[in-house]
Structure 1
């Protein structure tokens, strides 16, 4: 018999049973007793809840400030002023960029994120230095986290004359073409989008555009993106990030645009902002738009002092903003921060998180410590993780944390 991993007494969306994993994939979830083979690894979850591992759809690893000192931020009057402020503030952190990025990745993993789309700043001043670092980290973390890299011209694709740098970034291995505000920053919607789609076609890459432009200007930009996507045959290869303007116009217009986005399979990534309008996620999802949640900021940076690496916390913020207090809608949040349902099926990659919680709504409300974070059936982070991610790692993992969760008293005999 082929070697298997049996995780016993695991709570899979309300059912207690044994999760059987082979070659990094789910073989079966069995609610009856499963007798282990001589070669099998066995671990007892003691009733812990299994959640699908998380995906962060939009994050920056090259913008974090050090945690050991306060860097003051000052008010600005425009996004262009913000760009300049960010450059000035990050200059003092230049020599710690790798340290801070690694620290952020470890924090994201500890919170349950095993997939991330990382936007990497590129412009004539910094060249490709940030990308070189992120390519190295992508390789270093490959066994623990799947990372996509977006070549992102933060200062504006046209405004900063970054097109040749983005082209070189794509040659070097960036996965997506990025951009920012074709109207508000680049001042030329058509040319900015044309250049992005041209680069994507040249290198057979996807697109992810930062869109902060407000109201009808943002709507117009998405309409033009839809036209370019259809003309370029890029259905399913375009993402719009933020799209604040969709939260500032009539819901009828958003519903109509959402139907068009769904038809072209254009994705939306939102960080659930607290300081501006945000797209109406339930309405867009109802129209068939694929929505993904993102942290965007993972700590104190030039844009906000309120960032956090925990995507589950971001999911709770969405539920709070929508005033979702019932189980059904609270549980629905998980579809926007993972690639699967609340139940892993036979054939699924065994990417999951184990927590002390009674069910998914409880986990969303309580934000319990992630006890184990697993990628392809191997532990890669969490309170119980022992720092090894290989076939023998399960043999060394204790069944109970020495630092219990605040809510542990609720779990009775399964602990």
Structure 2
């Protein structure tokens, strides 16, 4: 019989409880006085608050700059100049790409992220070198973080003639077909989207499109995406990232489009940008659109010097943007940066974070330190793990020993 793990004195859903974990899943959420059985591994959380582990829905691991030196940027006047600048600046970091990606992954883990969708640059110049590295890291980190890879033609699927490279990337194991601005970059909405959906159908993959195009051009692109989604019967398998244009049109247009997006189960991912328009999240959520939060930029890179790997920071930025001061709306943010609701249930994967906070809104307001980050019931990061020498936090308690109930409510 597999060993049970008991975490006592966990603050969850407004009460103190005992978490029972077996084979990587939560099998019981018991009362505070639930006693361990012989052979149980027991650890006392001393009232730490449990949160669901975080999911970063859109991140680039192959774009980070070194943190030990400053790489100067210059103003650009178009996205094409930005593409060129990025290639120039990243060329000097080529030999450190793996090191920098690992630094980013460790920072994400420390902040509570145990699942990430990683967009990987692919084009004729780079070939598949970035994907090869990310496939290695995906395997290396499999026990600590679930990573899915998007074959992303940053320079434009059509514009950079990257279709054969994306096809090969999918053969190699990329999980999703990526794309960017079918109008603004590829200059052919129909052909760009058709190519993406054909690749997805050929390899039975999902789709995630970067969409920066403004206003009604962005709306039109999403409408066409919905048409293709219906024709390909790919409901629930398509994501639109960024979609800045939805923040530049009349709310009535967004509401109507949001209803179609919800019906098609189209996922909208936003990194809560501060320097451009962003989709009206409250309105879209009201229409039933699935919302996912992302960091996009995790540190210094060619696009911004203000990136940060902490997805909780993005959640707080969202709450600040909409002036959400009440408990209900502050708490709702967590649903968009995790796989499920705040209330973990028996049968759920034991992916969670323990923080020192009075309740969920307090954790958001204070950016509570992540004391312990667990994936499938195993600690993978957090300040307590560092103190305990990277061991399972409750393994420092002899098996079967009962901890004193020293938590005072």
TM-score (structure 1 length as normaliser)? 0.94
Secondary structure at 1:11's aligned position in 2? strand
Secondary structure at 2:196's aligned position in 1? helix
Match of 1:321 in 2: 321
Contact 2:8 2:32 in 1 (8 A): no
Q: CA deviation at 1:56?
A: 0.2
Contact 1:120 1:149 in 2 (8 A): yes
Match of 1:228 in 2: 228
Counterparts of 1:309 and 1:139, CA distance in 2: 21
Contact 1:211 1:218 in 2 (8 A): yes
Secondary structure at 1:384's aligned position in 2? helix
Q: CA deviation at 1:60?
A: 0.1
Secondary structure at 2:385's aligned position in 1? coil
Q: CA deviation at 1:394?
A: 2.5
Counterparts of 1:214 and 1:394, CA distance in 2: 51
Contact 1:56 1:294 in 2 (8 A): yes
Cα distance 1:310–1:31, how it changes in 2: closer, same or farther (>3 A)?
same
Match of 2:3 in 1: 3
Counterparts of 1:43 and 1:397, CA distance in 2: 7
Residues 1:248 and 2:248 are matched in the alignment: yes
Match of 2:103 in 1: 103
TM-score (structure 2 length as normaliser)? 0.96
Counterparts of 1:236 and 1:37, CA distance in 2: 43
Counterparts of 1:368 and 1:291, CA distance in 2: 23
For structure 1, the 5+ residue unaligned runs are: 399-411
For structure 2, the 5+ residue unaligned runs are: 399-405
Equivalences for residues 284-363 of structure 1 within 5 A: 284-363=284-363
Cα distance 1:393–1:369, how it changes in 2: closer, same or farther (>3 A)?
closer
Equivalences for residues 176-215 of structure 1 within 5 A: 176-215=176-215
Secondary structure at 1:278's aligned position in 2? coil
Cα distance 1:389–1:207, how it changes in 2: closer, same or farther (>3 A)?
farther
Q: CA deviation at 1:414?
A: 5.7
Q: CA deviation at 1:389?
A: 7.2
Q: CA deviation at 1:393?
A: 5.4
- The structure 1 segments of at least 4 consecutive aligned residues displaced by more than 3 Å after TM superposition are 386-390, 412-415
Equivalences for residues 263-274 of structure 1 within 5 A: 263-274=263-274
RMSD of aligned Cα (Å):
1.6
Match of 1:14 in 2: 14
Give the number of equivalent residue pairs. 401
Q: CA deviation at 1:397?
A: 8.0
Contact 2:18 2:29 in 1 (8 A): yes
Q: Deviations over 1:23-53 (max 9, x none)?
A: 1111111124111112100000000000000
Cα distance 1:222–1:363, how it changes in 2: closer, same or farther (>3 A)?
same
Q: Deviations over 1:340-399 (max 9, x none)?
A: 211210100010000000011000010121000001111000001148778x6521389x
Secondary structure at 1:224's aligned position in 2? helix
Contact 1:385 1:397 in 2 (8 A): no
Q: CA deviation at 1:84?
A: 0.4
Match of 2:88 in 1: 88
